Amino acid sequence: MGEALRNKTAKEREEDNGLGIHRFFSEDQFARIDELMYPKRAEKGSYLFWEGDPAGKLYYLRSGKVKLRKSTDEGKDFTLSILQRGDLIWEPENGLTSVHSFSAEVLEDAELGVVQWKDLEILLYRYGDFAVRFMNWMAVGQRVSESKFRDLLLFGKPGALASTLIRMANTYGVAVPEGIKITLKLTNTEIADLIGTSRESVNRMLNDLKIEGIIDIRQGRIVIVRLNALREICHCPTCPGCPKEICRI
């Protein structure tokens, strides 16, 4: 696998996925972890692991999509993230806990590369430049989580929905004459799980946004017509120019 990666140019890697872990490493640095990966296939509807399962592995998404879910004691599910090609799924061995705190559900047939955490630790000890880049990637992941919690807690359900639509556009959006079409198709129930509310609330808020001309829905896909209006709703603090590696689903 490592040799195939080396034969790709930086531009080709960026085109594969501009938001994934690739962008934090040079060709040689990523090849080090790529060589440790063993292949795994996962079918749609299966789980890479369940909340409470033993941790100790990292999953690199070569293709497909995976949803990270967290369950409460009351049986309510929250969607933490929807990951795509180029993303890395992991929880570190921190010496205190060794089980997963969330579940990973496969949304599309996926090809993955699996790395044992103990093998990654050897790389981190051996190569300082690799360790620094890996820490940079971890820091970005922390900022993504913090920004999601900020939007959910500070600006109510409309702000959380507006923020989620912007993140979906950054991660799965394509330019169309009307605006930005989100290619990822989610039900209103799935959107509700992303922001911790009910399907009925999402139905109402999406209808309001459509009436105001902020979004449109065509063939089951959401089209963002007035992006700045969504930014105003969620009080986006850094837009325009908000980095996509932070403002993502």
Predicted confidence (pLDDT) at residue 247 exceeds the cutoff of 90: no
Q: What is the band of 245 on the pLDDT scale with cuts at 50, 70, 90?
A: confident
Runs of H (alpha helix) within the chain: 2-6, 10-16, 27-34, 117-126, 128-154, 156-172, 188-195, 199-211, 227-233
Least confident of 49-63, 67-81, 91-105, 127-141: 91-105
Q: What is the band of 19 on the pLDDT scale with cuts at 50, 70, 90?
A: low
pTM above 0.75, yes or no: yes
- pLDDT reported for residue 235: 82
Averaged pLDDT, 178-182: 94
Tell me the pairing of strands 66-71 and 38-42.
Answer: unpaired
